[in-house]
Structure 1
């Protein structure tokens, strides 16, 4: 027999369901914030600002990019993890947080899978091993041969970053124990030290080094993409040089808080992949050397890719005792 409290609860649920359905059907009826968890000027910010007007046009509401940097992307990502799942807070998710921080940090303020609705894999960028144009290292073989007998320093954007993990793997795979990691607080100071001849090399996403490679101030010895990049056909891949395990990329995705209503998630998942293939967007992605996959992994396929990368890089982090406190 139902008591008065149960009846009131059922009545409330009955009222809430149509109300929720109406809210979802009306979505969006106000502006949406797109969280970029890194500072202005970087890849996440750039891609966010390229996509925002196209999303706004497709959805009929404003899309405002909000930079929430700090703690290597954790602060902005946590903002989204704890936001209401109403479709008005979205995230340009990043492998540096959802994969590499997960693999190297003992704890995170959120679960990288369970606390989000991951919808679409947007674009990905390869890492490159860079030396100065006047470096004695003309090839990757010369580079690792030297690191087998004497210290050769490589800079990265920080402990536990994708470039750090890639360099650690190269040291092991090439049997080059003298390949020494020098961590920096970001790519910019590492690049300054490389150009000042304070370190011999650097591992970094190609997106931030396109111009220096083109103008000849930097030489790229190898790239971590599966195939050579069309814009840089002279740069060999690690895989073709015998280091297949160093095939990797740093991706960006579109995510939201967990339990995003299915109609909203389905709508975004439907409109974003074709958007990525628009000629004007592809031209900018090509300039940045960060391209979408075709077809773009969505929904459960995107999550499966994420889980596999977390598993693989966690193994690498443990192998080399790479821990970010």
Structure 2
């Protein structure tokens, strides 16, 4: 009798448990719904991540059928906005237009950062990479890489602007110092926009910058390009020689940008976003716009993107240690 009563009491529990997977599936909210999707740019307006986020927002909005907005959350060389996304809900409504700096440079540059640059994120899709450019304000009188190095070696005090401590702009500048055997003074800003404004105004003579915010000013004759930082000349700007060509062999720096989300994002949502990004980047119009800005589109699956980032973090860890760069 006791066994029968026990069985009678337990059977309903098994029946309810059997229904749970179907119930959970039925209750899983569709994505996206009427809620807006936010892309967080971890730098000030006008910089590379801001420009790329706004370029991507429109095609994503069309492909996903949902409003996509861009929010700027700058600070600490991109770490503030990056950390904001790391701690957001992994529901597909808060995304990061990631720059490689906070992901592959900050972990080795800072003694401590508030997020794990690999474990705290879902690597949704890469967007583009770009050889950076060495820029000079025409009023500085600096006419070439050779001239820049010669002036610094003679003891002339030369400052260089960056988008902030720990950004690729900062580390590439320190790489240049180390390779050339000079010591220009790093001046960090809160994003590429403010750094570019001061370069244009002549407050700083030199900047290491992504071509995305730089090239419109170059074409207008407001700043001079001295070199590009990749191992080979950029396909977008084949007339610009590399730093390696101009006397520093082996110099190679080509940062990247991508779309990321908090860790734990539903793989189905990640794939849907990855597909949408890849489709957007494959369009002739988007390729042309990126090419004009000096950026080259990238295409990877989400696992490939994470593996790429892990490998790149190892590379930049060595660069940071070799350059002797420190947070300012």
TM-score under structure 1 normalisation?
0.84
Question: Matched residues in 1 for 2:86 and 2:206: separation?
Answer: 37
Please give the alpha-carbon distance, in whole angstroms, between the structure 2 residues aligned to 1:57 and 1:116. Answer: 25
Q: 165-174 vs 16-25, which deviates more?
A: 16-25
Aligned to 1:119, the other structure's residue is in SS state: strand
| CA apart distance, 1:244 | 5.0
Give the alignment partner of residue 178 of structure 2, picking from 172, 177, 184: 172
Q: SS in structure 1 opposite 2:242?
A: coil
SS of the counterpart of 1:246? coil
SS at match of 1:129: strand
Contact kept? 2:134, 2:226, Cα under 8 Å: yes
2:128/2:256 contact within 8 Å kept = yes
Which residue matches 2:88? 83
Alignment of 1:250-269 (within 5 A): 250-269=255-274
In the TM superposition, residue 7 of structure 1 has moved relative to its aligned partner by 9.4
Tell me how far apart the structure 2 counterparts of residues 58 and 277 of structure 1 sit (CA, whole Å): 13
Task: Report the alpha carbon displacement of residue 318 of structure 1 after superposing the two structures with TM.
Answer: 2.7
Distance 1:71 1:169, change over 3 A: closer
**What is the SS of the residue equivalent to 2:296?**
coil
Aligned partners of 2:111, 2:323: CA distance in 1, in Å?
15
Unpaired runs of at least 5, structure 1: none
Unaligned runs of 5+ in 2: 1-5
Give the equivalent residue in structure 1 for 2:22. 18
SS of equivalent residue, structure 1 residue 26 = coil
Counterpart Cα distance in 1 of 2:292 and 2:178 = 33
Match of 2:146 among 130, 133, 141: 141
Deviation per CA, 1:65-104: give whole Å up to 9, x if none: 3333333332332232122222222222221211222231
Q: Contact 1:150 / 1:178 at 8 angstroms: preserved in 2?
A: no
Cα distance, 1:193–1:81 mapped onto 2, change above 3 Å: closer
Q: Following the alignment from structure 1 to structure 2, what is the Cα–Cα distance between the partners of residues 13 and 93?
A: 41
Q: Distance in 1 between matches of 2:83 and 2:13?
A: 32
**Is the CA contact (8 Å cut-off) linking 1:24 and 1:261 kept in structure 2?**
no
Q: CA RMSD, aligned part only?
A: 3.2
For the 8 Å contact 2:44–2:190, the answer to whether it is kept is: no
| 2:297 counterpart SS class | coil
**CA spacing shift, 1:45–1:188, aligned 2, 3 Å:** closer
In the alignment, the residues of structure 2 paired with residue 11 and residue 83 of structure 1 have an alpha-carbon distance, to the nearest angstrom, of 36
Q: Given the superposition, is the C-alpha separation of residues 13 and 161 from structure 1 closer, same or farther in structure 2, using an over 3 Å criterion?
A: farther
- Kindly state the Cα deviation for residue 148 of structure 1 after the two structures are TM-superposed: 2.6
C-alpha distance 16-38 of structure 1, shift in aligned 2 (>3 A): farther
Equivalent residue number for residue 239 of structure 1: 244
Aligned partners of 1:33 and 1:64 also within 8 Å: yes
Partner of 1:203: 208
Between 155-164 and 273-282, report the one with greater CA deviation. 155-164
1:144-163 to 2 correspondences below 5 Å: 144-157=149-162, 158-163=164-169
Higher mean C-alpha deviation, range 109-118 or range 253-262: 253-262
CA contact 1:114–1:258 (8 Å) conserved in 2 = yes
Over residues 232-256 of structure 1, what are the superposed CA-to-partner deviations in whole Å (9 max), with x where a residue is unaligned? Answer: 3321012333535432233221111
2:64 is matched with: 59
User: Aligned pair in 2 of structure 1 residues 91, 159: CA closer, same or farther (>3 Å)?
Assistant: closer
**Partners in 2 of 1:110 and 1:241 — Cα distance?**
39
**1:322 correspondence with 2:328:** no
TM-score of the superposed pair, with normalisation by structure 2: 0.83
* Structure 1 residue 150 displacement after superposition: 2.0
**1:214 to 1:83, Cα distance in 2 relative to 1, 3 A:** same
Tell me whether 1:125 sits opposite 2:130 in the alignment. Answer: yes
